Amino acid sequence: MPQITVTIEPSTCILAANCAGMEPKLFRIGSESHVEMIDSTGTVQGTEYAFEATDVELERIEDAVDSCPTRAISMTRV
């Protein structure tokens, strides 16, 4: 499985929440002024989260990143 890092730029996020709609296992609207990332247990991971993703998860995350209207989310393979 590929190791990836997903990053949210809080100052750019407008809470459109497209990402949360597309990949609710990773993104959610929480108490912050930007979308939050969560792990598989629901624990908030902050604005940068590194983890292993399956090919299916990777495709969904790429789609969620692409859906962000302000490009506040980025993903890199480690």
Give the residue with greater pLDDT, 9 vs 32: 9
pLDDT (0 to 100) of residue 61: 96
Identify the CATH number of the domain in which residue 12 sits: 3.30.70.20
Structural domain boundaries enclosing 66: 3-77
* Pairwise CA distance, residues 64 & 46, whole Å: 17
What digits encode the pLDDT tens for the residues 38-77?
A: 999 999 999 999 999 999 999 999 999 999 999 999 999 9
pLDDT (0 to 100) of residue 32: 87
pLDDT-based confidence at residue 13 (cuts at 50, 70, 90): very high
Structure tokens at 36: 């939050």
Number of domains in the chain: 1
Question: What's the pTM value of the predicted model, to 2 decimals?
Answer: 0.92
Q: Which of 7, 18, 28, 75 is nearest to 36 (CA)?
A: 28
Does the pLDDT value for residue 31 go beyond 90?
no
